Amino acid sequence: MDTQKTPITCPQCSRSASMKVPLKVNTRRDRGARDGILSGSLFAFFCDGCGYSAEVLPRGFLYQDPALRLMVYLSPSGDPATHNIQLPTSFGDYRLRVVSDRVRLVEQILIRESGFEDRHVMLFKAQVKSTVDHGQVSAPASMVFAGLLGEASEVALSLPDGTIVALPKAHLDATIAAYPLQSEIPLTWMRIDSAWAEVRLAERAPARSGTWWSRE
């Protein structure tokens, strides 16, 4: 694991400390990295003085899972220039994604582990938004794919308050059937999120008649 020793002043008690902030992990070598990202412990800062804890993210973090052929670049700043990492052609079968926070990184890992296309999951979440939105879910961005439940018959979506919404997997299957995807361009980093899905859904919205007005 590549890390960067980073000085940190505790915002609560002003004690000086340092933390080895992870910059790059490869799950083949860094066995605990995946679980540390899911639990948050990989980026956790604990103050020995007062017990204050916080999440410390580097400006850029690269997650590589050779078994899943998944590489995710976490860039809190969302700076597109920083993720323009050129990869050799041997990475042509990798899914390359850019995310802006740890939760989205976790989601990408869980989607890949569950065998889904993240594009389908984002489209599904955008569709679900309208059916479960009782003021509880303000935007599809706040729902995160959390795996499959009930012997894979349900899709779990987690909400910011920790609530899990379980929906029939048949609904996700319907989205998959309704939205055939083009194959990705190899070696291309993509940001697949709720904004991406909203654009795709809008493109497919039922066309309204545009013939009300005569142009003659």
Q: For Zn ion, which stretch binds (CB under 5 A), given 6-14, 29-37, 90-98, 122-130?
A: 6-14
Is the CB of 45 or the CB of 116 nearer to Zn ion? Answer: 45
Number of residues engaging Zn ion in binding (CB under 5 A):
8
Q: Is 49 in the site for Zn ion (CB under 5 A)?
A: yes
Is the CB of 50 or the CB of 170 nearer to Zn ion? Answer: 50
C-alpha distance from residue 161 to each of 32, 141, 147, 157 (Å): 26, 14, 17, 12
What's the closest the beta carbon of residue 37 comes to Zn ion, in angstroms? 24
Is the CB of 32 or the CB of 49 nearer to Zn ion? Answer: 49
CA angle 89, 112, 86 (to 5 degrees): 25
The candidate with the shortest Cα–Cα distance to 65, out of 102, 99, 26, is 26
Q: For Zn ion, which stretch binds (CB under 5 A), given 47-55, 80-88, 195-203, 205-213?
A: 47-55
Which residue of 3, 4, 9, 13 would you call a contact of Zn ion, by CB under 5 A?
Answer: 13
Q: Is 168 in the site for Zn ion (CB under 5 A)?
A: no
Is the CB of 14 or the CB of 138 nearer to Zn ion? Answer: 14
Which residue of 33, 37, 47, 106 would you call a contact of Zn ion, by CB under 5 A?
Answer: 47
Is the CB of 4 or the CB of 53 nearer to Zn ion? Answer: 53
Q: Is 52 in the site for Zn ion (CB under 5 A)?
A: yes
Q: Is 44 in the site for Zn ion (CB under 5 A)?
A: no
Is the CB of 50 or the CB of 199 nearer to Zn ion? Answer: 50
What's the closest the beta carbon of residue 55 comes to Zn ion, in angstroms? 15
Which residues are 32's β-sheet partners? none
Exposure b/e, 139-169, CB count within 10 A at least 16 = b:
ebbbbbbbbbeeeeebbbbbbeeeeebebeb
Exposure b/e, 13-35, CB count within 10 A at least 16 = b:
eeeeeebebbebbebeebeebbe
- CA 74 to chain CA centroid, Å, is 9
* Beta strands at 61-65 and 144-149: parallel, antiparallel or unpaired: unpaired
The candidate with the shortest Cα–Cα distance to 44, out of 57, 31, 61, is 57
The residues that touch Zn ion, with contacts defined as CB under 5 A, are 10, 12-13, 15, 47, 49-50, 52
